[in-house]
Structure 1
C-alpha cells in the first residue's frame, strides 16, 4: 500500500502578503505605494491658485528637490510640493528631471508629506540630523528653503496638520472650518470624503478659501453634461409652454401664426 503525496499549499496561503512584507527600503524609507501615487495626483489636479497666472504654477510629486548650493548632491523628495512664480516647463522649454532651487530661483511655497511609520518622526520634526549628516526634511523645509506652508497627512488616522513659517520657524496652523487657509494662494486644504479614481475614502484636497472644491477634469465633464441636459430640459419646457399658449389663442379665435410680435 503506497502512501499518497500531500499536494503543496498554494503560495497565497504560505508566502507573506503585502501586509507582512515591508513597503519601504530600509535605506530609503517612504517609497511609493498606491496611496502615495493617488493622493499626490489629486493634489496635483486641484492645485490651481486663483491669485496666480496658471502658466506660472508648478507642482510635482516624488521629484528630487535639490536645496543646497554648498552641497549640490543633497536632495529631498517630497510626496508633493507646489511652486508659484515659475513656468510649468524648465526654462519654459523642457519637462523637469528634478527641481534645482539655485537654478529655478524660486523655492516651493507649500509641501505636503504623507506620514508613514518609517518617516513620521522626521516628517514631524521630532528628529534632528546627526553631526556631519544631511539635515532632516523638517530642517530643510523650515531653515534652508523656508517653505511658507508645510502640511502632513496620515492615511491611517485620516488626520492632517499644517505648519506656517512665522519668524523663521514653523508654528502650528489653526484649522478653520475644517480647512487650512492659505490666502496668498486664494486656496485652502481640506479633507474630502469621496471617490477618486473609483476609490472611496477620505482624501486631502485643494478648495477655495470659501471651501468650494476645485474640480478635477472628470468632474468638469460631468458638470458640463448636466448643464447641457438641463438646457435641453428647459428648451423642451419652453417649447411646450409656447404650444400650450398657441392652443389657448386658437380657442379664443386668434391665429397665433398671424400675430405681429414686432
Structure 2
C-alpha cells in the first residue's frame, strides 16, 4: 500500500464491516439458551432517558473489531451498548459487526455472562502468548478503555461491576446486587422474576425511582390489566346503580306509588 501525503484516515483505507467476517463457527463458547434470553432482556429494558432511542446501539454476540493495526482481531461480547451513534450503520444498514475505526465511537459498557469455559478470560485471569491477540479484559480496559465492565455469573447469580479508574478497572463494592450508572440515568441489577415464562434471577435495568424498567410486553400487559380493572370498576358502578334504582322502586311501591319507569 502506498503512503499518501497527507496520510488517509483508517476509516478510508481499512476494511469496513462489509469486508470483515461476521461469524466464527470455530469460536468456543457458542450461546446456550441463557445466553440467548438474557441479552434480550437487557436490550428490552435499556432505555437511557438522556439519549434519544435512535442514538443508542446495543448488540449481543456481535463481532467487535477493535485494532486498526490488526484488522482481523475481534472480540464477541455477550452484550454491549454504544451511546451517541446511530442504531444503523451510517444511518442506513443493519450492522454485521461493530468496527471501531469505521464508527469512531467506542462502547460505553460491556457485559459478559460467565461460562466455565470463558470465566478466566472474562475476569482477566489468563496469560497470553505475546504472539496471540489480547484477551477480553485487556481489550476492554486498555485498548478500548470502556468505562464500565460488568460480569454476571448465571450459576451463582452474582453481579460484579468494574469501573475504569486511572486507566485500570477497579471493582465496585456492591452492598446489594444493584449498581447505579449516573451517565446513563439507569442502574443495573439482579431481578428475581419471570421472563419468557422462566422464573429465576435475571440481569436487567432499573430507573431512578428504583423500579425495574418494563419491557414492551410488560407495558402492554400492564395497560391491558389497567383496562381490565377500569372495565371491572365500571361494571361494579353500573351494578351499584342498578341495585340503588331497584331499592328506590321498591320503596315507592311500598308507599303505594307506582314509579314512572319511562
Query: Aligning the two structures, in what range does the TM-score lie when normalised by the shorter sequence?
Result: 0.7 to 0.9
Superposed displacement of residue 249, structure 1:
7.8
CA distance in 1, matches of 2:128, 2:185: 35
CA distance in 2, matches of 1:236, 1:202: 38
Instruction: Supply the RMSD in Å over aligned alpha carbons.
Output: 2.5
Q: Which residue of 2 aligns with 1:67?
A: 66
Q: Which residue of 2 aligns with 1:95?
A: 94
- Report matched runs for 1:171-250 at 5 Å: 171-240=170-239, 242=241
Q: Which residue of 2 aligns with 1:136?
A: 135
Moved over 4 A (4+): 240-253
> When the two structures are superposed, what TM-score results if normalisation uses the length of structure 2?
0.80
2:54 aligned counterpart, secondary structure: helix
CA gap 1:164/1:76 in 2 versus in 1, 3 angstroms: same
Determine if contact 1:182/1:209 at 8 Å carries over to the other structure: no
* Deviating more after overlay: 76-85 vs 230-239: 230-239
> When the two structures are superposed, what TM-score results if normalisation uses the length of structure 1?
0.80
2:27 aligned counterpart, secondary structure: coil
Superposed displacement of residue 128, structure 1:
3.4
Superposed displacement of residue 247, structure 1:
6.9
CA gap 1:228/1:200 in 2 versus in 1, 3 angstroms: same
The one-character-per-residue Cα deviations of 1:109-156 (angstroms, maximum 9, x if unpaired) are: 110111111111110011233212211100000011111110111112
- Report matched runs for 1:146-165 at 5 Å: 146-165=145-164
Determine if contact 1:183/1:209 at 8 Å carries over to the other structure: no
- Report matched runs for 1:96-115 at 5 Å: 96-115=95-114
* Deviating more after overlay: 238-247 vs 111-120: 238-247
Superposed displacement of residue 64, structure 1:
0.2
CA distance in 1, matches of 2:113, 2:205: 15
CA distance in 2, matches of 1:105, 1:26: 28
CA distance in 1, matches of 2:165, 2:68: 24
Point out where structure 2 has 5 or more consecutive residues left out of the alignment: 1-23
CA distance in 2, matches of 1:247, 1:133: 87
CA distance in 2, matches of 1:227, 1:27: 49
Point out where structure 1 has 5 or more consecutive residues left out of the alignment: 1-24, 258-262
Superposed displacement of residue 211, structure 1:
2.5
Q: Which residue of 1 aligns with 2:125?
A: 126
